[in-house]
Structure 1
Amino acid sequence: MPELTAEPRRADPGAGARARVPAAVYAVSGVSALGGLLFGYDTGIISGALLHLREDLHLTSREQEIVVSVILLGAMAGALLSGRLAVRHGRRRIVVAVAVVFAVGAAAAAVAPGVGTLIAARFVLGLAVGGASNVVPVYIAEVAPARIRGRLMVLFQLMVATGQLIAYLCGWALSGEGGWRVMFALAVLPAVALGVGMLFLPESPRWLIERGMTDRARQVLTRLRPAGTDVGREIREIAEVAARVPAGGWRDLRQRWVRPALLIAVGIAAFSQLTGINAVVYYAPTILVDAGFGDSVALLTGVGIGVMLVVAGVVGAVAVDRVGRRSTMLWFLPGSALAMAVMALAFLGAGGSAAQRWTVIVALFAYILFNGVGMQAVVWLIGPEILPLSVRGPATSLATVTVWGVDLLIAVTALTAIETIGRSGTFFVYALMNVACIVFVLAKVPETRGRSLESIERALRRGGTFRKALDGS
């Protein structure tokens, strides 16, 4: 691996090629990314659990909608709360707290005697999901060497996809009466593993330096950097950035120099949902039934989607560091737009022929793959990378809330849109959102591959066009 310096392009290539990233870096990222596994499992398990819990608890249609969507409301609240707590108490402590909340919420959902208790438990799970989606990517970004930061952060998204796949498999395997309680209870195990594992991991060195604990930060960086790395230089780089502007709050997001990074982080967060991923994931069984497939195929659709999301996560983990964040989006989003447009065109046909049905299913999985690589692999990576250290907590919270807020919007409007403008019209709108996202990336998003967080912030502070300032530095 290349030697880590504040300016990767100026590193000595010979020395860098001989340097090995310590195993501790991968341990830190692996354990913390368990938060992603829980995120994916707890958001995905409801699709299988709902089939039987609605009968056991005698849920009305409205109550079913609340049970499904309340976790998204909790996630918005959790993202807002966790950002400020992470600034005050540190990234590591908040991830431990998130693990505890995951365990409590999962256990409460498993033993819920009625709909009110279940809704409350799902809201608690949402708090943990929002906290994990907000703090874990920031923690990984701040401990990882610049050269491999992308693949380690995409590990979080890969674990989200893995959690969803496990949820779909559990939903299929435990589909009998009362199985939904076991589905919810199983989430306690990875929550305990996350909490215990985080107790043995270090705090973010950037947070430590910001709090004046330079000696502890030096110990952490020495443990997490390749032998021969100039740790002192990295500490000076971090301290310089941290000293320039003290840790800020929500008001500091209005600073003019912060706006380009905030626009990119919030814009990518919004497009990650507006491009249609969760509309397809939430309602894929309905889409397939309408395309003429039988119920048995519809029941296995979630498993297929989970597999494609895992494949997309693996491809994305490689792509973001091999070809770059911006390039990954520009390479794969056109395929996402095309696949969504093909689905829209397929639904224009009448009669439901075999060719039409297979066109829908192939386009569906192609869309999941292309969008999973081009957008979902980047959404949790780009914000923590480009947002300045002084406002990283509240700014990342805002971006995460945007993800969950737009996700909620899509969840409660997708079926209404289909009823209003039809399936073809709805999918054409999502296809256009993919095109709009491509235009946004071309105009605003810089390439951050291989850049230290400090060099990214320096480019942001120069003023002018952020993308050109970073690309030219």
Structure 2
Amino acid sequence: MAAGVAATGGLLFGFDTGVISGAILQIVREFHFSPVQEEVVIGAVLAGCILGAASGGLLADRFGRKAVIMGTALVFGLGTLMCVAAGSMHMLIVGRLVVGLGIGTASFAVPLYLSEISPPDKRGALVSLNQLMITIGIVVSYCVDGIFSGQAHGWRWMFLAGLFPALVLGTGMLFLPCSPRWLAARGHANKAKDALKRLGQESSLVHEDEAEQNTGSLRELMSPRLRPVMLVGIGIMFVQQFTGINTVIYYAPTIFKKAGFASDAAAIWATVGVGMVNVLMTIAAVRLLDRIGRKPLLSAGLFFMTLALLSLAGAFRFQHLLAGSMKWVAVGALVVYIAAFAVSLGPIGWLLISEIYPLNVRGTAMSIATLSNWGFNCIVAMTFLSLVEAVQPWGAFALYAGIGAAGWFFCRFFVPETKGISLENIEADLWAGRPVVKLGTTSG
């Protein structure tokens, strides 16, 4: 129940990311935006995400994960109301920027909290509830857009719908315990034990002589001992984004139209189908992560993602030979791609960065990894159409496939297997100087 309430932050993340796709169609007509103004309104949320990811880590380490998530719900609510009430482009941009602050903070604070309240044998499933809720939030936003698309000022109702999950998150977190690991790191051993009992766990988190290790700094993150694990966290985010996932999220209708779908409606419904596959396969990932493990799913997922991207590149390259079947090849390739992503890089990227960092700097470290994720997201989103123009669609997808192949080797030789290993044992191996890929192998 605690994980479900906290994961509502993922629902907000997904909803506020996807809702603009339908709302912007009405907004452009009502305010007579130019293409540049439209890009600014859409891009404002990404700027907010970067700011939220950059600033939230220090707050999470200082004030606690619960407090930051509650603050995130308040920020979401404020930004939503500003968007609903916007009477000008500037007000709308500010509202989207505030919403972005919430998304950027929630994108790491929620999995961080989930990882620290979860027992080792269920951590993969519970942390991945956040990714599941993100995928559900995206699909819900598409449906809300459809419901209000025919109404006057329907875009305001589209945004307003996001207020409900913000209220659920903020109110629900009031009744949840603080992270017991954060309490222990701050020296509140008795409060940490009480929090564990509320969560149905009795095991000790830290040795008494370790409870004072409650401070960390950015300089410590850059130390030779922690630098490798920081690079692995940033590396997994690079692979997650530069294999092209957000070209599918943001540009799937465009891809389908280039593949041969004649109407906007047909391309959009094909996109909804891809979104549903994302949800269903993320549900499968929640069940598999603590059974099969992180690395086997990463290996299989990256293999099939690369294969799908190569198939998509080949279909565009030899489009003249496929004729009318081209669009179905594109649909099939994207379905395989999104299914493979949903059981591998999608949830595991966020899961790993919630597991591999030491407690005293975990919030700040996750903030840096999340900041890199949003930075990579921006680069991919802003370069895709230009890349298509420069090297044709097949060249763009071939490039992403090459990064997927390189990512397979990266995950194989640098990413640790953390299934069933307590966060304390992973940290003990890190402080003992073991290579990142072997974290948890001596104490699991």
TM-score (norm 1): 0.90
Aligned partner of 1:372 in structure 2 is 342
Aligned partner of 2:118 in structure 1 is 144
C-alpha contact (below 8 Å) 1:242/1:390 kept by paired residues: no
C-alpha contact (below 8 Å) 1:330/1:441 kept by paired residues: yes
Structure 2 residue corresponding to 1:72, chosen from 46, 71, 78: 46
User: Is 1:283 the equivalent of 2:283?
Assistant: no
Letter in 2 for 1:28: A
C-alpha contact (below 8 Å) 2:61/2:360 kept by paired residues: no
CA deviations over 1:289-321 (Å, ceiling 9, x no partner): 111112221121332122111112111111211
Change (3 A) 1:240 1:357: farther
Aligned partner of 1:462 in structure 2 is 432
Letter in 2 for 1:450: G
Give structure 1 stretches of 5+ with no counterpart.
1-26
Q: CA deviation at 1:235?
A: 3.6
Counterparts of 1:398-413 in structure 2, within 5 Å, are 398-413=368-383
Q: CA deviation at 1:241?
A: 4.4
In structure 2, C-alpha distance between the alignment counterparts of 1:291 and 1:468, rounded to whole Å: 44
Q: CA deviation at 1:469?
A: 5.0
C-alpha contact (below 8 Å) 2:260/2:326 kept by paired residues: no
In structure 1, C-alpha distance between the alignment counterparts of 2:206 and 2:185, rounded to whole Å: 12
TM-score (norm 2): 0.96
Structure 1 residue corresponding to 2:188, chosen from 201, 213, 225: 213
Letter in 2 for 1:325: R
Aligned partner of 1:171 in structure 2 is 145
Aligned partner of 2:107 in structure 1 is 133
Q: CA deviation at 1:383?
A: 0.5
Letter in 2 for 1:470: G
Q: CA deviation at 1:124?
A: 0.3
Structure 1 residue corresponding to 2:163, chosen from 188, 192, 207: 188
User: Is 1:43 the equivalent of 2:11?
Assistant: no
Structure 2 residue corresponding to 1:118, chosen from 71, 92, 95: 92
State the SS of the aligned residue for 1:386.
coil
Tell me the matched-pair count.
440
Q: CA deviation at 1:434?
A: 0.9
Change (3 A) 1:241 1:280: farther
State the SS of the aligned residue for 1:307.
helix
Give structure 2 stretches of 5+ with no counterpart.
none
C-alpha contact (below 8 Å) 2:205/2:424 kept by paired residues: no
State the SS of the aligned residue for 1:347.
helix
Q: CA deviation at 1:349?
A: 2.1
In structure 2, C-alpha distance between the alignment counterparts of 1:391 and 1:219, rounded to whole Å: 23
User: Is 1:258 the equivalent of 2:226?
Assistant: yes
In structure 2, C-alpha distance between the alignment counterparts of 1:65 and 1:301, rounded to whole Å: 24
Q: Which piece of structure 1 moves more, 290-299 or 56-65?
A: 290-299
User: Is 1:107 the equivalent of 2:81?
Assistant: yes
In structure 2, C-alpha distance between the alignment counterparts of 1:279 and 1:241, rounded to whole Å: 45
State the SS of the aligned residue for 2:306.
helix
Structure 2 residue corresponding to 1:90, chosen from 41, 49, 64: 64
In structure 2, C-alpha distance between the alignment counterparts of 1:350 and 1:266, rounded to whole Å: 36
Q: CA deviation at 1:44?
A: 0.6
User: Is 1:429 the equivalent of 2:429?
Assistant: no
C-alpha contact (below 8 Å) 1:339/1:366 kept by paired residues: yes
C-alpha contact (below 8 Å) 1:145/1:225 kept by paired residues: no
Aligned partner of 1:23 in structure 2 is none
User: Is 1:382 the equivalent of 2:352?
Assistant: yes
Percent identity between the two aligned chains: 39
User: Is 1:448 the equivalent of 2:425?
Assistant: no
In structure 1, C-alpha distance between the alignment counterparts of 2:209 and 2:250, rounded to whole Å: 46
Aligned partner of 2:301 in structure 1 is 332
Structure 2 residue corresponding to 1:56, chosen from 4, 27, 30: 30
CA deviations over 1:368-387 (Å, ceiling 9, x no partner): 11112110011110001011
Q: Which piece of structure 1 moves more, 443-452 or 203-212?
A: 203-212
Aligned partner of 1:10 in structure 2 is none
C-alpha contact (below 8 Å) 1:86/1:393 kept by paired residues: yes
C-alpha contact (below 8 Å) 2:186/2:211 kept by paired residues: no
In structure 2, C-alpha distance between the alignment counterparts of 1:134 and 1:288, rounded to whole Å: 32
Q: CA deviation at 1:168?
A: 1.1
